[in-house]
Structure 1
Amino acid sequence: MAQKRADMIAETRGKLIKAAREAFAAKGYAESSMDDFTAQAGLTRGALYHHFGDKKGLLQAVIAQIDGEMMERLSVIIEAASTTWDGFIDESIAYIKMSLEPEIQRIVFLDGPAVLGDPSQWPSQSGCIRSTQRSIQKLMDEGTIREVDTEATARLIMGALLGASLWIAHADDPQTASEKAGESFIALASGLLKSGESAK
């Protein structure tokens, strides 16, 4: 009985998140209405309020879902790399390039900060920083990069990647901005390498 109820809750949440994600991607947060979501999902406003509180809560849930998908994609990129350093660089550049994707750009890097505030304070960023810390520690253990404080360095790296993605999302020419950001990030990150090690 409890499992059936849990499945129903998950199904209801899933329908609302899917409907909201489609609306936010197509029309943006401001132009999307709660009636759009509920009609699309075949549910009532009461269900939306019960599960997410309001439209803002639904946006948070949509961004959490997209963040999770982004992390999965980045994990695949890290696994495919031939070295830890290559994985670190490839993952970082991929993150920057994701800000070019229309859905991610609009929901995560345009509407998200406008509605939910500073992205560096979002819960998902804590996971990103911990993951980056682990990569930095591994690179130090392998002797690829110089000794640094892992948390401070992770926060600086994530700040650079997030700042670049927000810049790209707002740029008049996002593609050119993305290319510049990628090249500049590699130049900055290469400063961590011990002498004799090669950058990408």
Structure 2
Amino acid sequence: MVDRLATIIEEAPNTWDGFINENIAYINMALEPEIQRIMFLEGPAVLGDPSQWPSQNSCIRSTQRSVQKLIEEEVVYPIDPLAAAHLINGALRGASLWIASSDDPQAASQKAVDCFLALASGLLRKRDRPDEP
């Protein structure tokens, strides 16, 4: 998952698109049977709280770097990048667990993506919001 997400970031035309595309891809990965089983269904039962897995540290650091870069580029408000990374990753993990256990994972995934986009747009400085002058 980490390698796939890193490629998505690298291929994006800018930091914001990389950030958005990476997080949407993470949500959509919860639709993949192998990832569902290992990461969101059986993994937590065997390994405990996913937020304590070593792989989560990698996800947090990646998100923190992305947020820090967006702050430096003045795309998002100057927020604490570590706090933002924990909140974003927690939301994505929670959404992915919901998707994996949903009766309609496809519909749940689309709802999660739509909500993520709405939440992420709140990070944008006012001048960068698509609906603002």
What TM-score results when the alignment is normalised by the length of structure 2?
0.95
Question: Which residue of structure 2 aligns with residue 47 of structure 1?
Answer: none
Question: Which residue of structure 2 aligns with residue 197 of structure 1?
Answer: 128
Question: Which residue of structure 2 aligns with residue 138 of structure 1?
Answer: 69
Is residue 2:19 matched to residue 1:88?
Answer: yes
1:179 CA drift (Å): 0.2
1:151 CA drift (Å): 0.8
Question: Which residue of structure 2 aligns with residue 182 of structure 1?
Answer: 113
1:126 to 36, 53, 57: 57
Q: Secondary structure at the match of 1:188?
A: helix
1:178 CA drift (Å): 0.1
Question: Which residue of structure 2 aligns with residue 65 of structure 1?
Answer: none
Report 1 or 2 for greater relative contact order, CA contacts < 8 Å, sequence distance ≥ 6: 2
Say how many residue pairs are matched: 130
Q: Deviations over 1:99-145 (max 9, x none)?
A: 10011111111000111111011111111111111100100000100
2:90 to 159, 183, 189: 159
Q: Secondary structure at the match of 2:96?
A: helix
Superposition map of 1:48-67 within 5 A: none
1-structure distance, mates of 2:54, 2:38: 16
| Runs of 4+ more than 6 Å apart | none
Give the fraction of aligned pairs with identical amino acids, expressed as a percent: 66
Question: Which residue of structure 2 aligns with residue 103 of structure 1?
Answer: 34
1:198 CA drift (Å): 3.2
Q: Secondary structure at the match of 1:108?
A: helix
Structure of larger gyration radius = 1
Q: 1:164 corresponds to which letter in structure 2?
A: A
2-structure distance, mates of 1:154, 1:108: 19
Question: Which residue of structure 2 aligns with residue 169 of structure 1?
Answer: 100
Q: Secondary structure at the match of 1:128?
A: helix
1-structure distance, mates of 2:121, 2:33: 30
**C-alpha RMSD of the superposition:** 0.8
Unaligned runs of 5+ in 2: none
Question: Which residue of structure 2 aligns with residue 116 of structure 1?
Answer: 47
